[in-house]
Amino acid sequence: MNKYIKLATLGIGISLMSSCSLLEVDKILEPNNPTVESIESNATANQISQLGIGLQSTARNGIAAFYETSGSIGREIIRSASTDNRYFSEILGTVDIDPAGIFYGWYGSYNATRRRAELFIRSADNTNSITAAQKAGVRGFAKTIQAYAMLNCLNMLQSSGIRTSFTDLSAPGDLLKPGKFSDYAGGLAYCKTLIDEGNTALGQAGASFAFPMTAGWAGFNTPANFARFNRAIAARIAMYQKDWAGMNTALNQSFLNLSGPLSTGPVFTFSTTAGDLTNPLFQNRNTDGAPWVVQVRVVPEAEAGDTRIAAKMSRRNNPRASGNIAASEFEVFMYPSNTSPISIIRNEELVLMYAEAQLQTNNLVNAENALNIIRTSAGLRAYAGAKTAAALTDELLKQRRYSLFFEGHRWFDMRRYNRLGDLPKDLANHRVFAEMPRPQSEVDWDVRNP
Amino acid sequence: MVLVILGLAGQLFAQDKLVTGKVTNSQDDSPLPGVTVSVKGSTQGTTTDSQGSFKISVPSGKSLIFSSVGFTQKTVQVGSQTTINVKLDENTSDLEEVVVTGLASSIKRSNAANAISVVKAEQLTGTTKPPYLDNAMQGKVVGANIVANSGAPGGGISVRLRGISSINLSTEPLYVIDGVIIDNSQFNTGAGSRAFSGATTTSNVSSQDQATNRVADINPADIESMEILKGPAAAAMYGTRANAGVIVITTKRGKAGETKINLSQDIGVAQAQRFLGSSNWNDKKIDTFFEGYGIGGYTAEDYKRLLKEANGRTWDYEKLFFGETPIITNTRLNISGGNDKTRFFISGGLNSEPGIMQRTGYGRRSIRLNLDQKFNDRISLGVSSNFINSNSSRSFTGNDNNGVAIGYNIAYIPNFIDLTQRPDGTYPVWGYTGQNPFEIRDKTDNLESTNRTLQSANLNIDIIRKENSLLKLNVVGGLDYFTNENEVYVPDYVAYQQQRANPGASRVSKSRALYSYLQSFLTYSWKVGKVDLQTQAGAVRNIRDFDLTWVQGEGLLPNQRNPLTGAVRVFDQFFQKTQEVAVDFNQEFNWNDKLIGRVGYRMDRSSLNGDNTKWYGFPRASLAINLTKFDFLNTDKINLLKPRFAFGQTGGVPAFGDIYSTLDATIIGGQLGSVTPTTVGNGGLAPERAQEIEAGVDVGLFGNRLNLELTFYNKTIFDFLNPYTLSPGSGVTSIKAFAVGDFENVGTEISLTGKVIEKKDLSLVTTLAFWNNKTTITRLTIPETFAGFGFGAFGRNRLRQGASPTAWYGTPNVNGQPTQYADAQPKYQMSLNTVLKWKNFDFSMLWHTSQGNHNSNLNQELRDEGGNTLDWMEDSDGDGIVNPLDGRLFGINASNNTSVFVQDASYIRLREIAVYYTVPKSFLQGAFGKVIKGAKLGISAQNPITITNYFGYDPESSNFGNRALGFGVDLTPYPSVKRTFFHLSLDF
């Protein structure tokens, strides 16, 4: 063997031995974005902050689809889309709703919000960078958001229910085994559990949250006053559960103020900053693309002088027909600009809920007084109708119709009082659906994962 | 002195004999240095010196083998001779070719157990001069479906070997040049994004950028041979990157001997293959058009007025845009030579390929140095070094939503409207889009520039050499480094930009890719009785590092190109890092050339897999039985009868990023937040696995004048990855990639070569080939789903168990399921290659046909919408309704469905034709003395004839680029060209 070979063999031998790692492959961390794993354990205080902001941001998702679909079936508005007549045929009952169709934008959004909130709680629980009280704050905030989102989701589906359990959310394989569906009562009980757990946690959360509360939560940005928002949602849940005593209790702990401004309450904020959302419910006046027009009976059935009409609706220059449906003279105009906030829940609704709880527990005077707060603020004279429970119920539903117009209530109110038959149908072949069918993809999933 | 005598005595004792001699080139009698002279049946050997002389002692009764790269090996019985002078022939015979069997081993082709297609330089670029490598392969590879995505300068060709190899991952083969894997990515330029052609509505990445693929950088003229390992059975040693096959390229290298200088020059003309035509208009047609359809921006009255104003004049927009006949020039200079120690090959190439549309074109400059050094008779080193600079200007073609893409828009312009630039320099706006395509051609840019260096080194050391065994070390290392720069620019004053919120858009992208590769193998060759054995083990490591940055500005300051002058600026920075290692074991045996087999096993690790520490194993085995080497079949009629069987597995690594679940950024109230994603990664991802079983027979008859190769294969891809749609109630929409099923490719390949005439001054060789492939999904664990890209009811691909994934689907829906139509893949392909040599003339011709391939064709639809198809006013079924309104236009007629748009794109094409004349040496000597040693003249054409009923610029088309699914969507691409060349080649 000559010296070249010896040298070369020696050299290569040494280099191979000195680098056993030649056969190793590094674990390459995602170089472009932080991964979910980075917040699953040992998240920093800063990461917890960002997750809190993130949840506040994405909690906004789904609201436009939720209002639009419930508002269409509840005969508040019509989405008069030039290019797609399903918005004023299928959803108004000309055919059954396509469970794989276009009316489920809210479903994915609200379920994604629930998952994000759940992962936020996990992240907080698996770190030592924040205190036990701050962890309770995360849990309290996140569970409240979950309850808000899932109640909206559940009301759309009613007897179809919602999935009320998770498998392990962080293991993709387990995502293939989604939890089971609960019926409406079970779903409401699930929402109540969430909101009550949230409330308990907020009670243990100390003086402030571990994450910044954005401007929309002004007045609700500490655990103590956020708990009053929590109780407002708890009152909503109790209302759907017809638990009038529980509703009263929750209202008393909420930010209900019979003598305060009706507009008080947290809002979703929007901006034109890159990466932020603009108000998805904002529309320019008199557009011809796909405006939300006001269902033709809404304005005529309001009392003369009701200031809520002018505050929420605007007369179109050209009345807008939707297919064969008679032209609407009014369109929705609730938000002056694309950066106007959207109310999540406000004192006005709390007063109406208070009225309903009093009515249902036979305190008719209290109920009438509360309704008169609403009437007065809308520029109407005090209630002059019969002082019976039945008449006051009619009045309650009427005030809710105009106070909470196009905010995801009317359809459910009429359903709660078995009055879906009273909703106005624009055409003879229309029907009023009681609920949305379970999404096709979920039906398919349960077939595959019995 | 005593020792020398003793030494001689020892040799004499073994009855060795000293033989001397000289080796020369049979062609010109020049001495051949560096020829290996070895004693048959032993590892004894020497090499010739610079004068071609050698001296060796030979045991009595033995033979000497003379071998040298590029020459046919010769064996000489020594007998009583003491002086042996040998003439070696330059290698041209197919049978002595070697093909790869391992990462550091090869085998004589006559012993191969796989059907490996080999394309030699002569076939690749010997006939005509296709500008891009993949282009040069078309019609020459049995079992391949090679399709140009468009005719735009700079290439963009997809190569599919034995059907498709994945549904969502790349289905392009792996390219290995001189032992080193190179990059063949497509980089999105943003040309299809919202601010430019608007083909896609996204502002960021776009699937419709009409990008080139990077193998187009390689100069085909540098290639000595290409071996195409079409499936896992042959490509298993390449492991997890070889599901789509491997193309192993060897570049030209110097031969020992006199220095040769070759200068060649091609001058050619390109022109569009065909035009689709545009019909004339009259008032009646205008009425019919506007009653039945019409286009936005104009009324029937407008058209009638414009028709009257035109006063009989018409403008043929296809010719005005695509009617250029530019001059193509290719210049190459090769210098090669060497001595017994050192061989070199230097080449320089200049390609200039202007487009058939003004301001488009492609250019490439490349230089190469291949150097081989023998340090002594045991150590040799080969180095290959290549630098390439390529530039293209492609303008805008394909899909469009902004009035930008040329072909798309001229489909709508009636020929009586004059949109040419006015004498004052302005461009009249066309009412339908508010844009003028001439302005796009003249004022906008879509540019690409690549600087690329490819380096490789190959070190061989004979560590132990004994009588009957040899231990060799082979180390190959290399790198592929390039920067790819794209600039897409539309000035603010261009009409459609004026209607945008922020006029003027510019996007500058820079991609940097570094690919490094290292492999090290020990090979031990030994003998047990009559069986030659070769044992090989080694390791492979490669790293890919990729960095993409782009900046886009909209609302540019007047006349500024820098995107930072924009009012709205968007940036992106994307990193990608991959590491892969493998160990490989290979055992070959050869019993007297009768039974030849191998088994092997490769294990791979990749950072792209969910578990970066897990080894994935890929076995292989093959057996060839050369029946003609057995005594019972020893006739003169049958020269080769070789059944062969091969099996192998390979992998397809997941796409980068599919294992990650990343946090998304969100903003609320000016504060940055993080949110967990709604599409999640799969941390448990494993590679897709392809398994192939191949069986075939090679037959040689009548003194090998008739050769048949017949191969059957079944290539099954197990656990192919697809996005997995989840229960939306889980809060996650999908898992990025999940193993959801299996599919198989089954096919036949037949190649028949006949040496019809073999005379001194006349020879004719004809090769007829046939191949087919059928793809079927055999298992699917998810519900049927559309997959790949496409335009809805114009035809989409779909995953359906029992059906082909490349079949088209569309309306009408029956029981909620879309209707299945024909397949995008051809039913079969055939080629006929003929080479005729008569005295100093060489004539060659390559015909190729693809039958049964169907495209989702929107060309006719667009022209029908514009009222411009030649048969627009015709009424084929006589019902009084003109053809387009009778079911050809989308959504016009209730009976109208996807069947109208899924169209047969079969074709027969003369790919290449050429005739060359070699100037006689006697004439050259008389005219130029000894200055010019050889000269060759020729004329050739590429794609001169296409026979098809298809309505489009080219039946080969893919709007969405190189994809497993969604290819064959034809939407007004840059027209394909035919090229005609004059060639001159001089040897000095």
Instruction: Please tell me if residue B984 touches chain A, with a CB cutoff of 8 Å.
Output: no
Give residue B634's pLDDT.
66
Sheet containing B785-787: order of strands: B785-787, B796-799, B807-814, B817-823
Which residue from A minimizes the CA distance to B543?
A25
Which residue from A minimizes the CA distance to B604?
A23
Is B729's CB within 8 Å of A172's CB? no
DSSP string, B100-127: EEETTEEEEGGG-SS--EEEEHHHHHSS
Shortest CA gap B667–chain A (Å): 5
Element (H, E) at A185: helix A184-203
- Using pLDDT thresholds of 50, 70 and 90, give the confidence band for residue B816: confident
Instruction: Please tell me if residue A105 touches chain B, with a CB cutoff of 8 Å.
Output: no
Interval B644-662: pLDDT, tens: 999 999 999 999 989 998 9
Largest CA distance in chain B: 115
Over residues A56-63, the mean pLDDT reads 96
Instruction: Please tell me if residue A51 touches chain B, with a CB cutoff of 8 Å.
Output: yes
Q: Which of A57, A108, A118 sits opposite B666 (nearest CB)?
A: A57
- Using pLDDT thresholds of 50, 70 and 90, give the confidence band for residue A123: very high
Is B671's CB within 8 Å of A274's CB? no
Q: Which of B661, B684, B731 sits opposite A36 (nearest CB)?
A: B661
Contact B345, B54 (CB under 8 A): no
- Using pLDDT thresholds of 50, 70 and 90, give the confidence band for residue B689: very high
- Using pLDDT thresholds of 50, 70 and 90, give the confidence band for residue B33: confident
Is B462's CB within 8 Å of A5's CB? yes
- Using pLDDT thresholds of 50, 70 and 90, give the confidence band for residue A12: low
Which residue from A minimizes the CA distance to B581?
A23
Residue window 150-189, chain A: list those with CB within 8 Å of chain B. 162-163, 166, 169, 172-173, 175-176, 178-179, 181
- Using pLDDT thresholds of 50, 70 and 90, give the confidence band for residue A8: low
Over residues B377-383, the mean pLDDT reads 92
Count other C-beta atoms under 10 Å from residue B369's C-beta. Answer: 16
Over residues B357-374, the mean pLDDT reads 94
Interval B239-289: pLDDT, tens: 988 999 999 999 999 988 889 999 999 999 999 999 999 999 999 999 999
Amino acid B795 reads G
The CATH H-level superfamily of B14-88 is Carboxypeptidase-like, regulatory domain (2.60.40.1120)
- Flag whether pLDDT at B10 surpasses 60: no
Is A172's CB within 8 Å of B682's CB? yes
Give residue A396's pLDDT.
97
Give residue A3's pLDDT.
65
- Classify each residue of B16-48 as buried b or exposed e, where b means 16 or more C-beta atoms within 10 Å of its C-beta: bbebebbbbbeeeeebbbbbbbbbeeeebbbbb
CATH number of B133-254+346-423+436-858+901-987: 2.40.170.20
Whether the upstream peptide bond of residue A178 has omega within 30° of 0, thus cis, is: no
Is A23's CB within 8 Å of B581's CB? yes
Which of B465, B616, B676, B740 best probes binding to A when mutated, by most A CB atoms within 10 angstroms?
B676
Report the distance separating Cα B491 and Cα B493, nearest Å.
6
Question: Residue A443 has which token pair?
Answer: 């039906």
Report the distance separating Cα A51 and Cα A30, nearest Å.
19
Interval B293-328: pLDDT, tens: 788 778 899 999 999 999 999 999 999 999 999 999
- Using pLDDT thresholds of 50, 70 and 90, give the confidence band for residue B5: very low
Element (H, E) at B320: helix B317-322
Report the distance separating Cα B521 and Cα B542, nearest Å.
15
Give residue B11's pLDDT.
41
Which of B460, B613, B727 best probes binding to A when mutated, by most A CB atoms within 10 angstroms?
B727
- Using pLDDT thresholds of 50, 70 and 90, give the confidence band for residue B917: very high
Report the distance separating Cα A263 and Cα A344, nearest Å.
11
Q: Which of B379, B461, B680 sits opposite A172 (nearest CB)?
A: B680
Interval A220-255: pLDDT, tens: 999 999 999 999 999 999 999 999 999 999 999 999
Instruction: Please tell me if residue A84 touches chain B, with a CB cutoff of 8 Å.
Output: no
Is A58's CB within 8 Å of B675's CB? yes
Amino acid B528 reads V
Instruction: Please tell me if residue B605 touches chain A, with a CB cutoff of 8 Å.
Output: yes
Residue window 52-71, chain A: list those with CB within 8 Å of chain B. 52-58, 60
Q: Which of B668, B724, B735 sits opposite A56 (nearest CB)?
A: B668
Shortest CA gap A124–chain B (Å): 14
Give residue B49's pLDDT.
84
Residue window 727-756, chain B: list those with CB within 8 Å of chain A. 727-733, 735, 738
Q: Which of B574, B671, B738 sits opposite A32 (nearest CB)?
A: B574
Is A275's CB within 8 Å of B666's CB? yes
Report the distance separating Cα B207 and Cα B285, nearest Å.
38
DSSP string, B221-245: GGEEEEEEE-SHHHHGGGGGG-TT-
Collect all residues of chain B within an 8 Å Cβ-Cβ radius of residue A30. Answer: 657, 660, 662
Q: What is the 3-state secondary structure (H, E, C) of B453-470?
A: EEEEEEEEEEEEEECCEE
Collect all residues of chain B within an 8 Å Cβ-Cβ radius of residue A35. Answer: 660-663, 681
Q: Could you tell me which residues are beta bridge partners of residue B917?
A: B841, B937
DSSP class of B438: H
- Using pLDDT thresholds of 50, 70 and 90, give the confidence band for residue A19: low
Over residues B127-149, the mean pLDDT reads 86
Question: Residue B987 has which token pair?
Answer: 């040897």
Instruction: Please tell me if residue B894 touches chain A, with a CB cutoff of 8 Å.
Output: no
CA distances from B914 to B146, B272, B892, B921, B945 (A): 22, 20, 48, 22, 13
Q: Which of A33, A114, A277 sits opposite B663 (nearest CB)?
A: A33
Please report, for chain A, the start and end positions of each structural domain, with discontinuous segments joined by +. 38-265+416-448
DSSP class of A302: S
Residue window 185-204, chain B: list those with CB within 8 Å of chain A. none
Per-chain mean pLDDT for chain B:
88
Report the distance separating Cα B751 and Cα B123, nearest Å.
15
Q: Which of A11-15, A361-365, B291-295, B384-388 has the lowest mean pLDDT?
A: A11-15
How many interchain CB pairs under 8 A, A with B? 210
Q: Which of B473, B579, B671 sits opposite A53 (nearest CB)?
A: B671
Instruction: Please tell me if residue A200 touches chain B, with a CB cutoff of 8 Å.
Output: no
Over residues A3-16, the mean pLDDT reads 62
Is A2's CB within 8 Å of B378's CB? yes
Sheet containing B180-182: order of strands: B117-120, B223-229, B246-251, B174-177, B180-182
Q: Which is more confident, A103 or B36?
A: A103
Is A178's CB within 8 Å of B677's CB? no
Highest average pLDDT, of A176-180, A189-193, B553-557, B965-969, comes from A189-193
Shortest CA gap B646–chain A (Å): 29
Interval A258-289: pLDDT, tens: 999 999 999 999 998 877 888 999 998 988 77
Instruction: Please tell me if residue B520 touches chain A, with a CB cutoff of 8 Å.
Output: yes
Closest CA to B524 of B514, B516, B532: B532
Give residue B710's pLDDT.
96
- Using pLDDT thresholds of 50, 70 and 90, give the confidence band for residue A9: low
DSSP string, B49-95: -TTSEEEEEEETT-EEEEE-TTB--EEEE-TT-SEEEEEEPBP--ST
Is A441's CB within 8 Å of B725's CB? yes
Q: Which of B812-826, B833-847, B973-987 has the lowest mean pLDDT?
A: B812-826
Shortest CA gap B181–chain A (Å): 18
Instruction: Please tell me if residue B677 touches chain A, with a CB cutoff of 8 Å.
Output: yes
Give residue B411's pLDDT.
92
CATH number of A38-265+416-448: 1.25.40.390
Please report, for chain B, the start and end positions of each structural domain, with discontinuous segments joined by +. 14-88, 133-254+346-423+436-858+901-987
- Flag whether pLDDT at B52 surpasses 70: yes
Amino acid A100 reads A
Collect all residues of chain B within an 8 Å Cβ-Cβ radius of residue A54. Answer: 663, 666, 673-676
The three-class DSSP label of residue A342 is: strand
Q: Which of B577, B729, B732 sits opposite A442 (nearest CB)?
A: B729
Q: Which of A37, A54, A163 sits opposite B666 (nearest CB)?
A: A54
Which residue from A minimizes the CA distance to B669?
A214
Instruction: Please tell me if residue B667 touches chain A, with a CB cutoff of 8 Å.
Output: yes
Give residue B79's pLDDT.
82
Instruction: Please tell me if residue B574 touches chain A, with a CB cutoff of 8 Å.
Output: yes
Is A55's CB within 8 Å of B673's CB? yes
Give residue A4's pLDDT.
63
Share of chain A above pLDDT 90, in %: 74
Shortest CA gap A74–chain B (Å): 24
Report the distance separating Cα B861 and Cα B900, nearest Å.
9
Interval B86-107: pLDDT, tens: 888 876 544 457 777 778 888 8
Report the distance separating Cα B393 and Cα B407, nearest Å.
16
CA distances from A222 to A132, A137, A214 (A): 16, 9, 11
Count other C-beta atoms under 10 Å from residue B299's C-beta. Answer: 12
Give residue B889's pLDDT.
82
Count other C-beta atoms under 10 Å from residue A276's C-beta. Answer: 18
Instruction: Please tell me if residue A244 touches chain B, with a CB cutoff of 8 Å.
Output: no
